Amino acid sequence: MSPFNLRDLPTLPRGAGHGAAVMVRRLLAARSAPAWAPISVPSVRRACLAGIRLIEYRPPPPFPVSGGWRLAFFSDLHWSAADARRLGPTLIRLINRAQADWVLFGGDLVRCQADLAAALSVLHRIEARCGKLAVLGNWERRHAWVGLEQWREWFADGGFRLLVNEATSYGKTNGRVAPVFIGMDDARRGRGNVTDSPLPDPAPPLAVRLAHSPDSVAEAPPDNLGDLVLAGHTHGGQFRLPRFGALYTSSAYGKAFEYGWRRHIRSGTLLYTTRGVGCTGKPLLRRRIFCPPEIAIILLPGPEQATGNAACRLGTPRRGGPQP
């Protein structure tokens, strides 16, 4: 039998079957990511409202000891204005219940620009003790006519500081080492690679990298990754089958980063890819099957006396983070 070639797949006209052929082509063309090995991290489901799960994780050792910080990470809302009105109160209640020190958003906020105001009003009501940070997704980046400063302004209206290939440092807070956060541009339509968003020099004690897609770090130099990478974009597949997982991930690496935890075999960097909150696709496909939406709470390890949730030096829970 002759070897299979992608060119052997039939080229179909637009219409029935075209989307399926494209999906098959992308799955077969997916690259591997051997540097990242899947690992098991115990989780605790703290709450579930309107089908959205609040799941708590503790990064396994070895992991840098910092200050026992709590990170709330969510991504890929893809909301319409109606979604924001219907699900916004649930999202706010779940994240605020977590009493996170930092709230991190992984991009892809709404379906259309006309839906921005409703979604930003939800973001504004989310509370964080120390700061709220966001990165751009491929949805935001596909609107090439919208400038970066406009996106910064819009996210600021929601109380979030937008990071695009840049880092923000909080120094020490109440004697505890705060993370340095590095926000990456989108990998598909921006300049989302580690080269354009290097770690600060000298390297910080704890570096958390925020990316829309795990593709941004798939083949990155191991000495420039940091300690933890948080990503979204894949939706966990959105459609999953028992014992198989995601049918499609919209990643150049296929199922390599579909969902969950991975560790870089050389640097030890941890990567978490969230299932996200929202859905995309044609109306009949805009749903989830065996893939519930989630908000991830990441509990960073700290000295025993610092694992409490004391407010940071910026005061009591606040909407928005410190300005650069």
| Distance, C-alpha 15 to centroid of its chain | 33
Domains of the chain: 53-306 (3.60.21.10)
Six-digit token string for 26:
């992308």
Residue bearing the bigger pLDDT, 137 or 19: 137
Average pLDDT, the chain: 84
Mean pLDDT, residues 151-176 taken together: 90
Q: How far is CA 141 from CA 5, 80, 92, 102, 277, in A?
A: 33, 18, 25, 24, 19
Task: Reply yes or no on whether the pLDDT at 15 is more than 70.
Answer: no
- Checking 320-323 for CB contacts under 8 A at 24+ apart, the result is 320/128, 320/131, 320/132, 320/156, 320/159, 320/160, 320/161, 321/102, 321/128, 321/130, 321/131, 321/132, 321/133, 321/159, 321/160, 321/161, 322/130, 322/131, 322/161, 322/170, 323/161
Give the range among 180-184, 256-260, 309-313 with minimum mean pLDDT.
309-313
198-217 tens-digit pLDDT: 888 888 889 999 999 999 99
Predicted pLDDT at 290:
93
pTM, full prediction: 0.84
Report the relative pairing of strands 172-173 and 176-177 from DSSP bridges: antiparallel
85-122 tens-digit pLDDT: 999 999 999 999 999 999 999 999 999 888 999 999 99
